[in-house]
Structure 1
Amino acid sequence: MTNTTHLKLPLIAAAQAQKHVTMNEALARIDAALHLSAISRSITNPPSAAQDGDTYLVADGAAEDWLGQTSLLAVFLNGGWEFLSPQIGWSVFIQDEAVKVTFDGTSWRSNILSLSRGGAATRTEVIEIDHVFSAAPAVSETTPLIPAGCSVLAVTGRVLSGFDGDATDWSLGVDGAETRYGSGYGVDTGAFLKGVTGQPVAYYEDTPLRITAATGALGSGVVRLCAHTIQFDLPDPL
């Protein structure tokens, strides 16, 4: 055997010359694989200005030096690309998405809490949007933020650009439950909200969030809203 089983680390041969070369390569692979973090999983062409240690999860349709390496981890070492084959249970933090993915033996799954042998999964996901409104009257609604078939534990947020209307406070909710995620929130830049539900609320269709002024008009502003959700994946097909 010339490589280890899981990480494919090169082994030093008996009476090998320049043992430090093999040892350094093995240490570099361990450094890349320990507490795995990848810059992105959506890039198909190897970056031309990669730095030593840069790691990517190779996307579908990869080309050039990444051709044929889909779903593997590409690590830039000593001026070239090395590839790590994931094992079941490996987890990687994807930096440009701020999401953790786990390898189930076939594919990478996002934010897994639990996984059945048949592929069913319970996942958590924080869905974030910067909601921009201009000259809004008393109500402003986001694009559909909460996906169908999930449960919402809470919605948090922060005012990024203060409201310039004459409203002094506002509430957050959905159509028919305008204060579900709280009321009395401030309108100035930096004001924040933490709307925790007493129990998870299930949604059966894509649903927008609704900002409602207590009195007066909202005017213009920007609010970052984050829906903290639990989502459920079906078992794999036979």
Structure 2
Amino acid sequence: MSDTTTHLCLPYLLAAQAQKHVTHNEALRLLDAMVQLSVLDRTRPAPPASPADGDRHLVAPGATGLWAGWDLNVAFRVDGAWMRLVPRTGWLAWIAAEQAFAVWNGSAWTTFADAFGWIAQGPSVTVARGPGGASTGLAVQADLLSPLSGPSHGSTMVIPDRAIVLGVSTRTVEAITGATSFDCGIPGEPGKFGGSLGTAPGSSNIGVIGPQAFYADTPIRLTANGADFTGGAVRIAVHTLTFESPGA
């Protein structure tokens, strides 16, 4: 019989063993580190300067110092020293710095959503990935244009090169002054995503279009109607399909 358990490598108490409490306490220490695993972060390749007992970290690649050779393992601070825990496939860890779970798949800590094939909510998510790494995604970019001024007002946010745009939505969040209405579009097509849009707070528009590919970074522009903008604020969002080519 092995001296340790199969999965967690907890030490067994052996027949006629002296100092049994030492072995028992070692098993408890390991259980305390592994059960309900929660780590502080996964970006450190070396120990922090002032660790506290009980601190746990996922060691970053390129580990050095006392953590040398511990890449992607769990470093556990206990009784004033660092203990190494080698993860087994399927281990789940809460990463406090990211407010997210990660799963050990046997070679890397991957996101909970990726491990289970779920689509997580976020500004940019992958909805399909091929075996060579090519992927298709959905993305939403948002920007607040404030204060509006002049005959037109542009956004620093752009429709990304090689994206397919599904639409651009708008919401007036602060009453627009000067202009009697406004259009939302791009240079050369001022009303592409909506024309004669409302200036009152709460006015909104879902500017859907026939899906269109863009082959250069393209800014969004609001154009004033009736008179120049003299104030107000509009939040805009660009809704796109995104693509990633296969890896090497």
Shorter-chain TM-score range: 0.5 to 0.7
Aligned length: 215
Within the alignment, does 1:208 sit opposite 2:212 as a pair?
no
Q: 1:210 Cα shift?
A: 0.9
Are residues 1:165 and 2:173 paired? no
From 35, 41, 44, the counterpart of 1:27: 35
User: Measured at CA, do residues 168 and 114 of structure 1 come closer, stay the same or move farther in structure 2, by a change above 3 Å?
Assistant: same
Larger relative contact order (Cα-Cα within 8 Å, sequence gap ≥ 6): 1
Moved over 6 A (4+): 1-4, 38-41, 43-57, 60-70, 73-88, 92-96, 105-110
CA deviations 1:57-91 (Å, max 9, x no partner) are 95x89988888888x59888779798887979x9x
TM-superposition CA deviations, 1:118-157 (whole Å, max 9, x none): 11111222223333455x2221122351111001223234
In 2, Cα distance between the equivalents of 1:159 and 1:40? 41
CA 1:182–1:164 in 2, change beyond 3 Å: closer, same or farther? closer
1:183 Cα deviation after fit: 3.3
Match of 2:153 in 1: 140
Shift of residue 46 of structure 1? 7.9
Q: Which residue of 2 aligns with 1:123?
A: 137
Q: Quote the Cα distance in structure 2 between the aligned partners of 1:218 and 1:40.
A: 48
Q: Distance in 2 between matches of 1:194 and 1:95?
A: 37
Q: Are residues 165 and 39 of structure 1, via their aligned partners in 2, closer, same or farther at CA, if it must alter by over 3 Å?
A: farther
Matching residue within 190, 201, 207 for 1:178? 190
Cα separation, partners in 2 of 1:164 and 1:114, compared to 1, 3 Å: closer
CA distance in 1, matches of 2:169, 2:144: 12
* Cα offsets for 1:90-135 (capped at 9, x unmatched): 9x99988x9xxxx9x789896221111111111222223333455x
Partner of residue 226, structure 1: 237
**Map of 1:154 onto structure 2:** 167
CA displacement at 1:23 relative to structure 2: 2.1
Instruction: Determine the C-alpha separation between the residues in 1 that align with 2:233 and 2:56.
Output: 35
Contact kept, 8 Å, 1:163 with 1:219, in 2: the verdict is no
Shift of 1:236: 1.2
In 2, Cα distance between equivalents of 1:55 and 1:219: 52
Work out the CA distance in 1 between the residues paired with 2:57 and 2:171. Answer: 32
The alpha carbon displacement at 1:214 in A equals 2.3
Deviation of 1:234 (Å): 0.9
> Structure 2 stretches of 5 or more lacking a match?
14-22, 115-123
Please list every run of 5 or more consecutive structure 1 residues that lacks an aligned counterpart in the other structure: 33-37
* Separation in 1, partners of 2:142, 2:83: 34
- Three-state SS of the structure 2 residue aligned to 1:17 is helix
Conserved 8 A contact 1:65-1:81: no
TM-score by length of 2: 0.60
170 and 117 in structure 1: CA distance in 2 versus 1, 3 angstrom threshold = same
TM, length-normalised to structure 1: 0.62
What code does the residue aligned with 1:17 have? H
**Aligned residues of 2:171 and 2:205 also touching (Cα < 8 A):** no
Kindly state the Cα deviation for residue 227 of structure 1 after the two structures are TM-superposed: 1.3
